[in-house]
Chain A
């Protein structure tokens, strides 16, 4: 080792505390980069495993191949395994009690197929010959058709077709085609198949919930493959890579397999990051890049600072070296060498602690993840050479950027600089000029404090920059999280119930049976009648006006037909709703005076712009009247109803109600008014919903479903709400974890900067004391210095944060149901935290100086 490097190491050892802080800073930054990279890879891995667990592990499927083509696929170099399957078709399940699942669906697998796809045998065994079958358990539990092991089963298996006449063969992905509750499907080309039941399986996860057929699996005998009896070959490739698509097409071309019969398991492949134009990949990638950029900025500001301080402290050594003949390169390299030493210590520790950190995080969040993302697999720490390489690369880049400027500066230090012992910044009177007010208000101590900040602009800026970054990150991320929570709270206030039960018209008896269920704690009934209204051109929404002008829609007699939803709230509900809207409920209750509240301000999703937009659904005023027409869709009978007066307009929806978009209106009326209106209608079609709260929503849902009544359907918000809550929780864990780490880097940075700036001023402090600065005055000076740091960083940090918060607010326009408001509590936390950090850094650094003897201080060689 050459002498310059030896000197460097000695210098690092001498300044143990600062070296340690630098190392800690680098460790945190490396750990964060590692964690982010690992998180990305682990998430991909989780989704891969999840997809495999639910849909099986396969990559490419060639449909309808014959024996020769199969051989070619088998012998292809990329093929690890080819699994055979065949969809035989549907047969009626005699006695099925589920009207929406009248069939069984017969599928054949060869031996490998049974292994490769997730099939769980609950009783008996898997089929081993073409006349053996296993049945989905649901046939017994859901369709209530009992079979026993060893029973024989005769099925007429054919293809499903809809009578609608489009002649498409329907698959398990198409639900039962119905009209007026009656099936309009038929089975064609049936063949009789005889089977023996050898086992039962759990409902396969790949069977869609809406499938009309229960799954039956049987054995595929490879000998039966022929030109007429083709099979599907599902390939598991040796190595998943991008060329997989091209290669599959190549194989198909060579073996006369039509290209359209190739299908890819894109669900799985996109978690390998292989599919093009993939939203997930882009989101994940851009998110990682943004986070890493923030980490790099944060850590560079720390590490750069540490090296800059080190260089200015070593300037005497470097100058001395220069005077005995050290070249520019040697001086420069000594700084890079310092970087290498720090890197060698920090990077391995950083990677290990990053992995450990993310591992511990996974342990804690796995249960949340499973709820929030609806997965069954657990997140596992996935270490790939790629993620480690990324972490190493980013860290080395960070250190290199940080050392570059100090290194160049070090190379320029000349012998004469060292001898003169000039400060690294040439002070000018203008630079440290302060306003007279400071001295007048706070005294000379404050003024000296402020001048001290100004004397070294670069160090001052670096400290302020660290603080500002932390403030902005903290405030914007917490605003984001608070926003999420708030929108959830709002959507819940709209959906102030656990589930919504739709009840068909004329089944009012069900209201009672549902609401009297054991766990129901509260319920509310909303009745709905659909009508239309011809709205004059001057009153229609501006979006519609535009469409009229471009000719996309046309008017009838200069009027546009609006779709009107007349909603009846319960008496109590109407009262409180009228209060929210700000109108008198009496105006609504008079059946002789038809009036209602119109929700005139709506939000809709502009599909083209991919944004949520707020607009006026109708331009109307209180007291104006709108006409109402009712059309019975079954009979086509049209009725003109009484005109409705606008009692109030609002942007507030009653609970559970959402806008249907531009061209429709929601009008809230009372029971009496509804009665008066419907008096004129022959047979009004009303829809009824019960909104209910339950002490055990899952059980209640099950109980309602078990009623097996056709007129009822349940929309359980509880589950969705719970899932959203867990999602927010999950995001909070990551966002706050991120803030904590960035703040840790910043704190290390601030401590480093402040303690160095104080250590370098020891002689000055001693001097101030010797001319009679009291300990109190000294504290005052230090405190003012801290306060100026704090105030200045807040002066920049808060406005920048507000701008960022506003941008977030603008960006997430879907949550604009609440007005933009500043998170005062977070700002308060931030204020307190900034001062606590700065003051504690100041106190820590100055405590030593304070204890120091004036004489020792005066003897300090550098100033």
Chain B
């Protein structure tokens, strides 16, 4: 079953002569539970693609279907609600809210949804992320690796359809990088969580089920490593 379907996606920045084609008629689909790595050189359009998938930026043309919903047919509010329920975003620079504690940061999508927090589920995630002793800390009291684990927790808490990670290890040393990737893989396998990771780290890409290579806004290679 395809959880994500992309049809003819294009994104053009600027107008006229200065226009830059960041994405040029990209089409592909991803199955539920797949772990996909998107690689490519700087400026190839991979971050743009990720933002389109996450519903934080609008494409110039084309469609993004998540669970058969055309997300760019949604209005601003519906899109925001879609993001908080269906998409888990992980950034290179963590992007945690500095005034909220670790626990609050993790549960933020639920809080925004005015959902009750399932204590057991939270405990489980926190234990996996090894953050049990840090729940009442503020982000600036944590190390980089810890902060990234918090953002993974935040991405996971609402059981999203897709988890998107933009260079999740770009800011970390190799030990922490390894830990983060292991965690992501673990969630992918254990919870059958669809996972899309943008990276230019070959070693990470090689751990994925499938690697999509983007160059100049086009898919140049799409290869399944392990079916």
The residues of A with any CB-CB pair to B shorter than 8 Å are: 422-423, 426-429, 432, 439, 443-445, 448, 451-452, 454-455, 763-764, 767-777, 853-855, 858, 863
Contacts and interface: CB of A to CB of B under 8 A. Distances in A.
Interface in B98-150: 98-101, 108-109, 111-114, 136-138, 140-141
B138 A429 contact: yes
Interface in B31-86: 51, 54, 56-57, 76-77, 80-85
A444 B111 contact: yes
Nearest to B89: A770
A423 B138 contact: no
A764 B97 contact: yes
B57 A455 contact: no
Given A448-B99, A775-B77, A863-B98, A769 B56 contact: yes
A777 B84 CA distance: 12
3 tightest A-B contacts by CB?
A772-B84, A451-B99, A444-B111
B95 A858 contact: yes
A429 B89 CA distance: 25
Contact of B56 (A455, A774, A854): A854
A158 to B, nearest CB: 95
B210 interface: no
B218 interface: no
B95 A777 contact: no
A491 B95 CA distance: 68
B137 A769 contact: no
A713 B62 CA distance: 99
B101 A774 contact: no
A771 to B, nearest CB: 5
A454 B138 CA distance: 14
Given A428-B138, A429-B138, A855-B56, A772 B83 contact: yes
A452 B97 CA distance: 10
B190 to A, nearest CB: 23
Contact of A429 (B84, B85, B101): B101
B51 A774 contact: no
Given A432-B138, A771-B83, A775-B80, A427 B98 contact: yes
Contact of A777 (B51, B57, B80, B82): B80
B100 to A, nearest CB: 7
29 contacts: A423-B140, A427-B138, A429-B101, A443-B114, A444-B111, A444-B114, A451-B99, A451-B100, A454-B99, A455-B98, A455-B99, A764-B95, A764-B97, A767-B95, A769-B56, A770-B56, A770-B83, A770-B95, A771-B83, A771-B84, A773-B84, A774-B80, A774-B81, A775-B76, A777-B112, A854-B56, A855-B56, A855-B57, A858-B91
Given A427-B98, A432-B99, 5 more contacts: A429-B137, A429-B141, A767-B97, A769-B56, A776-B77
A49 to B, nearest CB: 63
A833 B225 CA distance: 65
Contact of A854 (B57, B77, B81, B112): B57
Contacts of A773: 80, 84, 112
Point out which of A429, A439, A772, A853 has the most chain B C-beta atoms below 10 A from its C-beta: A772
A634 B161 CA distance: 113
Nearest to B102: A429
Nearest to A764: B97
A772 B80 contact: yes
A858 B92 CA distance: 11
Interface residues of B, number: 34
Given A429-B137, A432-B138, A774 B76 contact: yes
B140 A448 contact: no
Contacts of B97: 448, 764, 767-768
Interface in B134-183: 136-138, 140-141, 154
A771 B98 contact: no
A772 B109 contact: yes
Contacts of A777: 80, 112
Point out which of B84, B111, B112, B141 has the most chain A C-beta atoms below 10 A from its C-beta: B112
B117 to A, nearest CB: 11
Contacts of B84: 771-773
A472 to B, nearest CB: 30
A853 B57 contact: yes
Nearest to B86: A772
A454 to B, nearest CB: 7
Given A422-B140, A777-B80, A427 B99 contact: yes
A817 to B, nearest CB: 54
Nearest to A776: B77
A429 B141 CA distance: 9
Contacts of A764: 95, 97-98
A444 B108 contact: yes
Nearest to B95: A767
A775 B76 CA distance: 7
Contacts of B108: 444, 768, 771
B12 to A, nearest CB: 15
A772 B112 contact: yes
Contacts of A774: 76-77, 80-81, 112
Point out which of A443, A444, A770, A854 has the most chain B C-beta atoms below 10 A from its C-beta: A770
Contacts of B141: 429
A451 B85 CA distance: 24
Contacts of A858: 91, 95
A455 to B, nearest CB: 5
A769 B140 contact: no
B91 A427 contact: no
Nearest to B139: A427
Contacts of B114: 443-444
Contacts of B83: 770-772
